[in-house]
Amino acid sequence: MSMRAQRIRGTQDIQGEDALRFARVVETFERVRKLYAFERIEIPVFEATQVFSRSLGETTDVVAKEMYTFEDRGGDSITLRPEFTAGICRAFLSEGWQQYSTMKLATHGPVFRYERPQKGRFRQFHQVNAEIIGTDSPAADVELLAFADQLLHELGIADGVTLQLNTLGDAPTREAWRNALVSHFAAHRDQLSEDSLMRLERNPLRILDSKDPGDRPIADAAPPIDDFLTSEAADFFAQVTAGLDAAGIAWTRNPRLVRGLDYYRHTAFEFVTDRLGAQGTVLAGGRYDGLIEALGGPPTSAVGWAAGIERLAMLLETPEPPRIDAALIPIGEQADQRALALLAALRRAGVAADMSYKGNMKKRMAKADASGARFAVIIGDDELARGEAGVKDLRSGEQTSIAFDRLPEVLSAQ
């Protein structure tokens, strides 16, 4: 019995308008990355499983339920990357990148999570990612936020997107706040949801962003982090917000914005929109000064963010389809050969050119019009005899004759 191959659930084949949107996000990210002097890197799609279980924490949903983990033929446990940061930090350690002091790194590509597919959520999806590793300066946080803000503006999707900002403090702040939260939530244990009771043992900060309506009043009454900020942590946050103000980047404080993992410190942020329904975050990140240490490295400060390419693409205006400069229309066998030579010469000169593989003049002309080509280049017996092509401007309808050897130069100047 023959089985028709099907696309695996939660994956996607990207073509047409979706592919144009996707490419626009990536091209804009690459352009802005260069403006900010971030180095482009590539890292493996899979890592040893412990890279993610140590960095993301065994108790997080991603590690417990969502990772694509398998044993390879050598018997090693391998995981497809669910995010970029852990792999970048692993590379920083294993490749000896510490020697470069501060590194500004950017990458993009597929990431994998085995979760219930929903609108804009896939099991293989794609992210753009930016990190600054090796500095504890609040200026790095500001620079990364400026990069993210400019990316959204250049994509034309900044309207209706808000930067929400919070501080998670330094290690002493976090410890004191965590203890206060545990005693606050423990006092209301009988009113908390089952999920929150589990989090109380392992990850009490996560109760603050609980979606359960029964948890909300208790979470909203929890003591704020500002009551526990050390003067150093308060000063760090003040420098970040002052830097954002200086750079003209609008932000709003969200004291409920938290990260459950202990290696997150200081700045946490999300760019949030109401244009995607409930799935409101388009770009998120923060400072993770404790992560490289958790992976077995020396204490190393770092800050970064990631954004889903599909999410960003959904917000874009419909992109213009790509247009070509010239459509070649040969008539007859001799003309076909001449057209192949011309096509190569035009493309080498940077002119986007195309030619139908077959069809009469009428069909090829119709195709040239449909392709949005600027010029039709017509080559028949008369043109071959004269050594010139008939060039029709498909916008104005004007037709001229241009010598074959001058075509690349003339069309590339248009």
Q: Give 147-205 as a 3 state SS string.
A: HHHHHHHHCCCCCCEEEEEEECCCHHHHHHHHHHHHHHHHHCHHHCCHHHHHHHHHCHH
pLDDT at 246 over 90: yes
Q: What percent of the chain has pLDDT over 90?
A: 65
pLDDT on residue 62: 63
Query: In 3D, which of 310, 311, 138, 109 has the Cα closest to residue 233?
Result: 138
pLDDT on residue 267: 94
Q: How far is CA 192 from CA 203, 212, 225, in A?
A: 14, 9, 21
Q: How far is CA 94 from CA 90, 91, 133, 135, 211, in A?
A: 6, 5, 14, 19, 39
Token output for 294: 């958790």
Statement: the pTM of the whole predicted model exceeds 0.85: yes
Q: How far is CA 82 from CA 57, 87, 221, 364, 400, in A?
A: 13, 10, 34, 47, 57
pLDDT on residue 91: 96
pLDDT digits (tens, 9 = 90+) for 131-147: 999 999 999 999 999 99
pLDDT at 297 over 80: yes
pLDDT on residue 130: 98
pLDDT band, very low/low/confident/very high, at 333 (cuts 50, 70, 90): confident
Is 75 buried (19+), middle (13-18) or exposed (0-12) by CB count in 10 A?
A: exposed
pLDDT at 392 over 90: yes
pLDDT digits (tens, 9 = 90+) for 258-279: 876 767 889 999 999 987 766 5
Is 322 buried (19+), middle (13-18) or exposed (0-12) by CB count in 10 A?
A: exposed
pLDDT on residue 93: 94
Mean pLDDT of the chain: 90
Query: In 3D, which of 319, 250, 313, 261 has the Cα closest to residue 282?
Result: 313
Separation of CA 1 from chain center: 42
pLDDT at 332 over 60: yes
């309506």: which residue's tokens? 213
pLDDT band, very low/low/confident/very high, at 104 (cuts 50, 70, 90): very high
Average pLDDT over residues 29-51: 97
pLDDT on residue 220: 87
Q: In which element (H, E) is residue 306 found?
A: strand 302-308
- How far is Cα 141 from Cα 136, in angstroms, rounded to an integer? 9
pLDDT band, very low/low/confident/very high, at 195 (cuts 50, 70, 90): confident
Angle between helices 49-56 and 85-94 (to 10 degrees): 110
């240490």: which residue's tokens? 293
Average pLDDT over residues 291-319: 93
pLDDT at 361 over 60: yes
Q: Helices in 43-118 by DSSP H: which ranges?
A: 49-56, 61, 85-94
pLDDT band, very low/low/confident/very high, at 322 (cuts 50, 70, 90): confident
pLDDT at 46 over 90: yes
Could you tell me the domains of the chain? 16-170+230-315 (3.30.930.10), 326-412 (3.40.50.800)
pLDDT on residue 307: 96
Average pLDDT over residues 183-212: 83
pLDDT at 347 over 90: yes
pLDDT on residue 208: 83
pLDDT digits (tens, 9 = 90+) for 76-93: 999 999 999 999 999 999
Which residues contact residue 162 at a Cβ distance below 8 angstroms, ignoring those fewer than 6 apart?
250, 252, 271, 272, 273
Average pLDDT over residues 252-263: 82
Who has greater pLDDT, 343 or 192?
343
